[in-house]
Amino acid sequence: MDRTDRSKQEPVEVICPKCRYIEIIYLPVDDLPCCPLCNTQMSISELLDEGKSY
Ligand SMILES: [Zn+2]
């Protein structure tokens, strides 16, 4: 019916700046997760775009 899909989550890759642990999370998130290995707050590594080519 309506193609506006606001519930669609956007995957992003986050990386731990300390030990380089990588995890995929889905936006929107309130806070970036902490690394499960060293408990450092992770930062966004790259946006994973699922074939939306504009
Ligand atoms: Zn870490």
* 4-34 residue pLDDT tens: 666 788 899 999 999 999 999 998 988 999 9
d(CA 50, CA 40): 28
| The two three-digit tokens of residue 6, written as one number | 């606001």
Which of helix, strand or coil describes residue 48?
coil
The domains of the chain are located at 10-42
Q: How far is the CA of 32 from the centre of ligand 1 (A)?
A: 13
Q: How far is the CA of 54 from the centre of ligand 1 (A)?
A: 34
Q: How far is the CA of 13 from the centre of ligand 1 (A)?
A: 14
| The two three-digit tokens of residue 53, written as one number | 């080519």
Q: What's this model's pTM, rounded to 2 decimal places?
A: 0.70
